[in-house]
A = this chain, B = another copy of it.
């Protein structure tokens, strides 16, 4: 897949952006990631280029033939242009680190973008399943299935005492990181968020911005994940996250009902302004887009914005990112040019839909 072929992917709605699945009005997506290493190779950071090339070749052949990975796409990251690697990162198919320039890095992506397997990232394999809505258990089932298929053809580095061996000790054990991307505008607006997040931290979960580790929250989106990988089974870890996320969902629902009761004009104002700006503005930064989309999302969920499909919002979310915009334009753009193009894309997408905004 060269630069041109990848252009097709940007008009394709990834599985995790379907806007379907349980509690999809609050949980945008659920993700399970497994870190695996192959016996007989040093960890990735210690491989010589030749060994790394061998690792990529060996795992590529194994992964591409898995029953779960029919019609997959294999991408050698060194063969991609910068912009295409960025697109993969913006679509959450590879990590930001994996998208950096470098040899002997690859990714295998399933047709619906639900499964991606990074080769030679921090670990030899990073298997990810990303689904729409609150489907952590289903994501785990799928990841486990692919993992078992791989285990049938490759020899994992595994210690009976510690579990799966990983490059970074924080991943040893299950090698699993489970996370949800959760949209909490009402908790933010009613100033209850800090309290909720503190409780989440105390229960052993980590809270991050929407682009993962080290990124700030924007657009009222938060990524909640387990911190512990050792000394617990996958089922225990999942059960813990699911229980806590259910409680956060309850808090957010209560906060939304409270806002609807007390501050309905304020809500309608925020949602209406966001909609009006997206329909008519000519310069929009990506940070502003995140916030505008957050307001649209809650507007749809509360029935204040009618006839908008949540998928349109998710598409906006994806297409308004820098690399996607430049891919659409087929050229490099300055930040200002991107902001102008972003506004144009948003206007066009909102124009094509017959939208009703409830006024009273």
Bound Cα distance from A212 to B198, whole angstroms: 54
A343 and B269 within 8 A (CB): yes
Please name the 9 residue pairs, one residue from A and one from B, whose CB atoms are nearest each other, closest first: A276-B276, A272-B280, A276-B280, A269-B282, A268-B282, A269-B283, A273-B281, A276-B277, A265-B340
Contacts of A268 in B (CB 8 A): 282
Min distance, Cβ A226 to any Cβ of chain B, angstroms: 41
Q: Chain A at the B interface: mostly helix, strand, loop or mixed?
A: helix
Bound Cα distance from A346 to B15, whole angstroms: 41
Check: A188 CB closer than 8 A to any chain B CB: no
From B273, B283, B340, B344, give the contact of A277 (CB < 8 A). Answer: B273
Q: State the oligomeric state as a number of copies.
A: 2
Task: Knowing A347-B359, A359-B347 are in contact, say whether A272-B281 is a contact too (CB < 8 A).
Answer: yes
B265 and A272 within 8 A (CB): no
Min distance, Cβ A280 to any Cβ of chain B, angstroms: 4
B283 and A276 within 8 A (CB): no
From B265, B273, B283, give the contact of A280 (CB < 8 A). Answer: B273
A280 and B343 within 8 A (CB): no
Bound Cα distance from A352 to B7, whole angstroms: 42
Contacting residues of chain A (321-360) with chain B, CB-CB under 8 angstroms: 340, 343-344, 347, 357, 359
Check: A153 CB closer than 8 A to any chain B CB: no
Contacts of A283 in B (CB 8 A): 265-266, 269
Bound Cα distance from A283 to B272, whole angstroms: 10
What is the chain B residue whose CB lies nearest that of A305?
Answer: B280
Check: A208 CB closer than 8 A to any chain B CB: no
Check: A275 CB closer than 8 A to any chain B CB: yes
